Amino acid sequence: MDRRNKGISRRVLLTAGASIAVTAMAPPTQAVPITRKISAGPEEPGKRADLAEQAIVQRHLRTLWGRPQRRLGTLVWPASVLDQSFLRWCYWWQAHLLDCAVDAAYRARTPERIDRVVALARGIRTRNLTGWTNRYYDDMSWLALALERADRLLGVRFGDAVGELRADLIDGWNPVVGAVPWRSGDEYYNTPAIGPTGIALARLGELSRARRLADFLYTRLRDADSGLILDGVHEPGGRVDRTVHTYCQGVAIGLETELAVRTGESSHHRRVAALVAAAGDGLTNAGVIAAASGDDSGLFMGILARYLAEAALALGDTTAADIVHASARAAWKHRAEVDGLPLFGIDWSRPVTVPEHPGTFPQLTPSSAVSPANSSRDLSVQLSGWMLLEAACQLSAAGR
């Protein structure tokens, strides 16, 4: 994800697959009524997560290029024929879609959910064209995390995919800087790449490197005044991008949580508690995770929720659990509905903004248009809502 060019998404338009006949695609998704006259809905966290899952499956999931057992999520909904052709490629959104599918299958295992995990992973591998890897260390770490969880939690393995991703992450290591850059050959060392890479390496047995990445974030990118983790630093030179994002806190919390559990070192426990407190103080609104916007940033809130839940589950952090539960209640309360299924907004603390006329999403309005209602079209925004509800469900099931 390109965080140095603010407001620019890394949705890559490639010509590969352009030879796929558009007649093989499904018709454009029709604009449908959207309403704020929502039902009370189920109270049980698992049933709410079910509905979030169903919404994305029905609206976004499509077969890739007519290939059997290969599926991906359209980046917007309603989707045009072009959207459904998957010429626009956003690797890291699909990795998070796969991770959410793993959440659902682990919560309530069914053959359909396992098949979906398999089809999504195969879809990513096929659409990526060159294998499992690419140039971006954040992308590869997110996919490594999703595939590792599919193997560990579900017993679903995709050959040596995780091994290939692990090797590329290690190859990207700069021993002088003590971290991995944003992408191969780049000089920008940012939290969005370092955090998930550290989590992946910790889970894959590379604790020494994971520790160094955690130390890099703590010593080089932690703001002393707020306690929050900044975006990144340019090396050589040391020029820091002081932008603060919710998901940067999420991945830093996730990395420190992994190290706290795996090493037992009290320093990592203290760092987790401090980061959770700082995020609660600086990046919540009445206890609800702060809003982002559409496009790439639509995933930011959900990523923070995922790793707050990890901290609550693994370390018993009650503040982290409280933020997740408050955010889940708010997102559910303020959702819109389409055909009885939830549609989440970019700000969980406010009601979803619905189009004024005629109560529908315009079919072909570019999703990048600046509009809160239009931002809800993005898969990223809806994945954040699903991720949040799965996190809240995990906490409730554990009595947290």
Paired tokens of 160: 């040596």
Provide the pLDDT for residue 13: 52
CA atoms of 114 and 119, how far apart (whole Å): 9
Nearest to 351 by CA among 376, 368, 325: 376
Please classify residue 366 by burial: count the beta carbons closer than 10 Å to its beta carbon, then call 0-12 exposed, 13-18 middle and 19+ buried. exposed
This prediction has a pTM of 0.91
CA atoms of 147 and 117, how far apart (whole Å): 9
First CA to last CA distance, the chain: 33
- Spell out the per-residue pLDDT of the chain, length 400, in tens: 444 444 435 555 554 433 333 334 444 445 566 766 667 789 999 999 999 999 999 999 999 999 999 999 999 999 888 889 998 999 999 999 999 999 999 999 999 999 999 999 999 999 999 999 999 999 999 999 999 999 999 999 999 999 999 999 999 999 999 999 999 999 999 999 999 999 999 999 999 999 999 999 999 999 999 999 999 999 999 999 999 999 999 999 999 999 999 999 999 999 999 999 999 999 999 999 999 877 888 999 999 999 999 999 999 999 999 999 999 999 999 999 999 999 999 999 999 987 654 345 544 344 444 455 567 899 999 999 999 999 999 999 999 9
Provide the pLDDT for residue 400: 96
Angle at 341 between CA 358 and CA 367, to 5 degrees: 55
Provide the pLDDT for residue 293: 79
Alpha carbon distances (Å) from 143 to 261, 279, 385: 22, 25, 19
Provide the pLDDT for residue 327: 98
Provide the pLDDT for residue 31: 52
Contacts 24+ apart (CB under 8 A), 158-166: 158/121, 158/122, 158/125, 161/121, 161/125, 161/132, 162/204, 164/131, 164/132, 164/133, 165/132, 165/133, 165/140, 165/141, 165/200, 166/200, 166/201, 166/204, 166/206
